[in-house]
Chain A
Amino acid sequence: MGNKSPVFWLFIAPVLVALLLVVGIPLFMGFFYTFTNWNGLGFDQFVGFEHYSRLLDDERFLSSLWFTIQFSVVSVVLLNIIGLGLALIVTQKLKSSNFLRTIFFMPNLIGGLILGFIWQFIFINVFGQIGQLMNIEGLQGWLSTPATGFWGLVILTVWQLAGYIMIIYIAYLQNVSGELIEASQIDGAGPVQRFKNVTFPLIAPAFTVSMFLTLSVSFKIYDQNLSLTDGGPFNSTEMVAMNIVYTAFDSNEMAYGQAKAVVFLIFVSIIAISQVYYNKKREVEM
């Protein structure tokens, strides 16, 4: 880095300054505030690690963390299966494949808040009406129990993000060389074997990217959560991001909320880094 010309630094300066201003400094300040009784306006004493030790007994925070983990695991699995499935469909030689790509990608263009409200209508009104007409108990009262709230969120997230993940898989699928496929065909591999032993290892990098993306997105979800269930019923579908906002702005404990955010940051970083490290190791060197 030392031998870079001043022009290099000049060009990179705006980004560095912006990053420092909107990420670096707030992060540092926020970290500092967690050791005080800051209320958003000012603070008058240092409390040491009190906020952090309090976290361990905060049932609501822990249950929101547990809910987020469950939600993330389920949606990461579903997102990758469905995303890959969609990618496989649209990379077949179909006439409608461009049309399908557009359709599958479209949910991703709608903002999370609006999607939440749309799905709220679907779950409550549409499901309810259909359930009433056809006398299906399971379709009625969606979002009014913790379980339906959970699955509602999963469905919404998967529906929204699957198209995006599909695009990533498409890019990698198209890079799989035809020669290898052909060679495996000549060797007598069936479609399943071909996918498992040839295609799959070759698109492993796509898994790294997609899993990292889906994991971090599903951990940080807030707007979908807010507009679909708003944590209800009885805070059972409250995710960590929402719990942090609630602590900071509703209970008005800014410093405590900040402490939760710091813990959350560390938590997500550890998961993300270890996951990238592990997946990198498995990738096939070409």
Chain B
Amino acid sequence: MRSMKKLNGWLLLGLAGMILTACNGEDEATEGTDEGDVVDVEIFQGKVEFRDHFIELSELYEEENPNVNIEFSAVGGGTDYFSALRSRFSSGDEPDVFSLAGPSELNDYQDNVLDLSNHAAVDEAIEGTLEGAIDEDGNVRGIPFQQEGYGLLYNKRIFNEAGIDADEILTYEDLEEAVETLDDQKDELGIDGVFALPGAEAWVMGDHLANTYLSPEFNGDMMEAYESDTVDFERADEMERMLRLQNDYSIEPVLNMDYSQQVEEYFSLERTAMIQQGDWVHPTLEQMDPDFANEHVGVLPLPVDGYEGHIPVDVPNYWAINDGVEDEVIEEAEAFFEWMYTDEEGIAAVQDKLDMIPAHEGFDVEEIDAPIQQEIYEYVLEDNTLGWIFTGYPQGFGNDFGAYMQEYLAGEREWDDVIEAGQNEWEETRQ
């Protein structure tokens, strides 16, 4: 009996061994095919909403370049993407191409990304779109993906009915007057509130709203913010004024309203006249109601004294190429981006598939179908933009500052306290 057990043991061991070797064998087999004629390029990025369009785009490219296979993988926006990227790098399963958001991410991956200073898509990049991708030695390490901009998105129909001409709103006083006019006619216009302020989303306030009033003190340069040891909040009063205005005339309750309520429930169902959001809401609006998204949405700049009529626009993401992969993969990745951003056919395909504000010359404003994107691109062409500096914030600052603003809205913190806490936090992180 005892020997029987032993025998069983050895049999199991042998079986386990066989299974293990079988697995190994399989691995070798797949690796073998990789070295064939087709070059695989894996692109890893955080914009889930673009994934399907990207795949269509890469299929077009593959038709012309049968020796390349481009694979897009996407992981949900923001935080999730960067933690996924981090774990892929630390586990050794590095993607060939990936997207980075700004100087602090670039700093982390400095040793892993290719110098793209001489790439055609970098030459074609619109002035001012590269600043977040330049490393300490002045080399360009990323290709700007697109541009994004935000402001007050307004409902044109409601503005018309209230007799307000959006073109005449420039200063804060103009805006306040318009808001009061709208508020007086709330019932006739069928809206619940003039604004829908999503108080639950710290980034709407801490990143976007704060950026609008911090950008001038850093000259709109994210690198200046990235390198700065302190923040003065020169326009703290203006920031408070704008936050107050949005809060006082917002649909209640503010503090549990999230992004999807703001955009889908209130704005697209025309229960509010204005929301502070950016061009990225277009696909959502279009899904809810294409007619509304394409005909009835306009953009108003957030009023900043001395910068009236300026929209905060910048590059949220850069493409970075992993310099640790095989040369031919790098070559093909470079060729793909060259096609996407500089080739006539590539540009046409991009404009056809993706609704975005271009960051490269050679794109045609008339070809942008989405109205918010088109309108913001016009601000870009006229150079009426404010740079984004929140990509140069100390890590975690936007969220924390947003939380202080939430406390202010809840009446648990004075505004002066909000500013002071923000300053302390910035300085502590930058020590």
Q: Are A250 and B79 in contact (CB under 8 A)?
A: yes
Which of A5, A144, A249 sits near B255, CB closer than 8 Å? A144
Contact of A6 among B6, B399, B404 (CB under 8 A): B6
B82 part of interface (Cβ distance < 8 Å): yes
In the complex, B31 has a CB within 8 A of chain A:
no
Additional 5 contacts, C-beta under 8 A, given A10-B12, A143-B255, A250-B399: A5-B5, A41-B86, A123-B256, A144-B199, A252-B396
Q: How many residues of A contact B (CB 8 A)?
A: 28
B-contact bits for A154-176, CB 8 A (1 contact / 0 none): 00000000000000000000000
A201 at the interface (CB under 8 A from B): no
Q: Does A140 contact B (CB under 8 A)?
A: yes
Residues of B within 8 A of A143 (CB): 255-256
Does A48 interact with chain B (Cβ within 8 Å)? no
Residues of chain A from 111 to 159 with CB closer than 8 A to chain B in the complex: 123-124, 128, 140-145
List the 10 closest A-B pairs by CB distance, nearest first.
Answer: A251-B396, A144-B255, A141-B253, A234-B406, A144-B256, A143-B256, A234-B403, A40-B86, A144-B253, A234-B407
Residues A7 and B8 in contact, CB atoms below 8 Å apart: yes
A167-192 Cβ-contact flags toward B at 8 Å (1 or 0): 00000000000000000000000000
Q: How many angstroms between the C-alpha atoms of A180 and B404 in the bound complex? A: 61
Contact between A10 and B9, CB atoms less than 8 A apart:
yes
Find chain A residues with CB under 8 A from B403 CB.
Answer: 232, 234-235
Q: Mark A1-28, 1 if CB is under 8 A from B, else 0.
A: 0000111001000000000000000000
Q: For the complex, what is the distance from the CA of A142 to the CA of B252, rounded to whole Å?
A: 11
Check A250/B396 contact, CB under 8 A, given A5-B5, A145-B255, A233-B410. Answer: yes
Q: Binary interface profile of A, 237-255, with partner B (CB < 8 Å = 1, else 0)?
A: 0000000001011111100
**A residues less than 8 Å from B254 (CB atoms):** 144
Contact B255 A41 (CB under 8 A): no
Interface centre among B89, B256, B396 (most CB of A within 10 A): B256
Measured between beta carbons, the chain A residues less than 8 angstroms from B93 are none
Q: How far is the CA of A142 from the CA of B257 in the complex (A)?
A: 11
Enumerate B184-212 residues with CB–CB distance to A below 8 Å.
Answer: 199-200, 202
Chain A residues within CB distance 8 Å of chain B = 5-7, 10, 39-41, 123-124, 128, 140-145, 230, 232-235, 246, 248-253
In the assembly, what is the distance between CA of A248 and CA of B12, in Å? 42
Quote the shortest CB–CB distance from A235 to chain B (angstroms).
5
Nearest chain A CB to B109 CB, angstrom units: 8
CB 8 Å contact bits of B26-52 with A (1 = contact, 0 = none): 000000000000000000000000000
Q: Which residues of A contact B89 (CB under 8 A)?
A: 40-41
Determine if B200 and A7 form an interchain contact, defined as CB atoms under 8 angstroms apart.
Answer: no
Q: Closest chain A residue to B82 by CB distance?
A: A249
Closest to B202 in A: A232
Instruction: Write the nearest CB–CB distance from B372 to chain A, whole angstroms.
Output: 27
Chain A interface SS verdict (over half): loop
Instruction: Find the B residue at minimum CB distance from A14.
Output: B16
B61-86 CB mask vs A (1 if < 8 Å, else 0) is: 00000000000000000010011001
Q: Is B60 positioned at the interface, with any CB of A under 8 Å from its CB?
A: no
| Nearest-CB residue, chain A, relative to B261 | A124
**A55 nearest CB across to chain B (Å):** 15
**With contact pairs A41-B90, A141-B252 given, residues A233 and B199 touching in the complex (Cβ less than 8 Å):** yes
- Residues from chain B with a CB closer than 8 A to the CB of A141 are 252-253, 255-256
Judged by a CB distance under 8 angstroms, whether B325 is at the interface is no
Contact in complex: B108, A41 (CB < 8 Å): yes
17 contacts between A and B (CB under 8 A): A10-B12, A41-B109, A124-B256, A141-B252, A141-B253, A142-B256, A143-B255, A144-B199, A144-B253, A145-B255, A232-B255, A233-B255, A233-B410, A235-B403, A249-B79, A252-B108, A252-B395
For the complex, what is the distance from the CA of A213 to the CA of B245, rounded to whole Å?
Answer: 48
Compute how far the CA of A10 lies from the CA of B9 in the bound complex, rounded to whole angstroms: 7
Point out the residues of chain A lying under 8 angstroms from B261, CB to CB: 124
CA distance A10 to B12 in the complex (A): 8
CA distance A249 to B396 in the complex (A): 9
Quick check: A249 and B83 within 8 Å, CB to CB?
yes
Distance in angstroms from B248 CB to nearest chain A CB is 16
Which residue on A lies nearest to B265, using beta carbons? A125
For A140, list chain B residues within 8 Å (CB): 253
Residue of B nearest to A142 (CB): B256
Cα-based distance from A58 to B416 in the complex (angstroms): 22
| Chain A residues with CB under 8 A of B269 | none
Could you tell me the distance in whole angstroms from the C-beta of B401 to the nearest C-beta in chain A? 11
Q: Mark B387-421, 1 if CB is under 8 A from A, else 0.
A: 00000000110010001101100101000000000
User: B335 in the interface, Cβ–Cβ < 8 Å?
Assistant: no
- B13 beta carbon closer than 8 Å to chain A: yes
Separation in Å of the B190 CB from the closest CB of chain A?
A: 17
* Residues of chain A with a CB closer than 8 A to B82's CB: 249
Complex-state Cα separation, A145 to B5, whole angstroms:
65
Residues of B within 8 A of A235 (CB): 403
